[in-house]
Structure 1
Amino acid sequence: MRRGLLAGLLLAVFASPVMAGTLLKVSASQRQAMGIRTAAVKAAGHVPVDGLPATVRAPLHESAVVTAPYAGITVAVLAREGAQVERGQPLARIQSREAMRLGADLASAQGDYRVARAQAERDRQLLAEGIIPSSRAQAADARRDAAAARLQELNAARAMAPKAAGAAPGTYELRSPLAGRVIERSLRLGEPVAALDKAFMVAEPGRGMLEMQVPARYASRLRPGLPVRTADGASGMLSEIGAAIDRASQTVLVRASVKGEMLLPGQQTSATIQLPPPAHAWTLASDAVADFDGRKIVFVDRGTGFEAVPVAVQAQTGAGRSVVTGALAADSRVVIAGAGALKAMLVAGE
């Protein structure tokens, strides 16, 4: 019964030609028969680009790599992967021939500096008394300065490989440079480690860097500071925008600094970037957008009927919402159900 009534109504309306952009007059009873429902549009606060594949990396500024300054053998692992550590906390102990030589060299350099300093002080006193020429005092000062530079160099080396208290000679400690979580451990107990090998990676908890590939059509609108949110609730801002388009995928690489409780390096997720809206941008139900004659249109309620208004879709989300640009207004109501019947009226009026 309802289907027959709807067909009769469409035939009645099709009696006069109707083109896109004109008013399709529909009475209240016809609206009901066609199942037409409308909803208000809202000014778009942003254009969501969602469903972007994203990979979590270690945060750029809130993480640190701990390296072994000298080659040796790992004799103790003091922090496990995933453990929370404090700044300066020992992570591992490495026994090294170079570290053993460092201790001897440091003791020798301390003695050399004390002797050179004392000699320089004596020569300055003798110079003041007129007993020696100034060139001799200057030479003593130069030897003192050279000894001081050597001692400073070795002290800096010792700071990189602090001696492990109570351990065998030549054993030094690797210590955490910041408070955080051990997200990677490369050392294995009893195995050799080469100089400058990566031993640990430590990062502040709840922070990460997100890498995403964004379609090239959005590249000109990307800016550092734009809001980003992941499917698992982490949020942050864009921090880096790639300067080139990948030829194969036609995407641009972007990175974002994000915060979230469950962020783990290597994790795969999806993300949404909120772009600034263009002029005359509106958010509405995706069901309101129809295809007609190669264009996107929405049917705007004009009281006595509906007008087909061309729009350009800027974004469409998985939640059934779209952002469009077009000649709409803040008080516009668009058809979200029954658009098929109105579209048929347009087709019949071509």
Structure 2
Amino acid sequence: MSGHTLQDKVVVVTGASGGVGRAVVRELGHQGAKVALIARGMAGLGAAAVDVGAAGGIGQVYEADVADYGEVRRAAEQIEAELGPIDVWINVAFSSVFARFTDIEPAEFERTTAVTYLGYVWGTRVALDLMKPRGRGAIVQAGSALAYRGIPLQSAYCGAKHAVKGFTESVRTELMAERSGIHVTMVQLPAVNTPQFDWVLSKLRRHPQPVPPIYQPEVAARGIVHAAAHPERKEYWVGSMTVATLLAQRVAPALVDRYLGRTGVDSQQTGEKAPSGVANLWEPADETTDYGAHGSFDSKSHGRSPQLWLSRHRTAVTALAGAAAGAVLLRRVLR
């Protein structure tokens, strides 16, 4: 991918203040993009805008709750008035609850769904309303391996990611039927070392953790920004466990259920400390404190993903690598 593919393009990123979204806006800054940063936490947003400028781009802050269609619409109109027509819209924002399903209050489940699913729906709707008269544009959905495979303690998040996948496929086929010049793509992400494990509402006794292998947010960002520059593909995969999850789920879903039933609860909790007590479900965690892109698992995280390279280049090796990763997971299940 050319280092200047998105130079001078107007790119919107939701969830831009921290985690994967924060890494995405930095990567866009390196490409010289005009980046519109949407989130709720002003400390995180302000620091993210500085990151974009330091990297060589233009960063502009727009405070909005993605669960509110009106706020998203007003932010988009302001973006077009100040930065110009939107070329790319990237949906990253989410929230969640780490808990067993029966421990999640209805209002908490509803709020998670509104942010993590409807936030993508409203962002996509607003982007299409603005892009369709021009007949061009790209929408990128930051997805997850959990769009294909639900796991314990994350019922609200998994349900939302499954919904985003189905919604995106429906919209994509409608655009294809219209022979539209607008493209919609998804980037399915693995476990990523972001602040989500420090600021997502948790009802667990122990601190939540991502399930290895864990990747740094910059790996996810490279995949998302590549997809923004090359949105014709339906889907990109980042991380070995993402590939293994997709294949294992297709080959032996019942075995995966049993494996996750045995290991899924303990593997998502550390043995070292209690949850942080911070929760961003109702209010932003980074209103006065900047959390940045990285979480607390730097020492356990990978900075590169061969699967991303394979997914981008779409060679026969992709199938071989995916089959090998699937075989590894199946061996774990059958043990």
TM band (smaller chain): under 0.3
TM-score for both structures, normalised by structure 1:
0.19
Higher relative contact order (CA 8 A, sep 6+): 1
TM-score for both structures, normalised by structure 2:
0.20
Q: Which has the higher helix share?
A: 2
Q: Rg: which structure is higher?
A: 1
Q: Which has the higher strand share?
A: 1
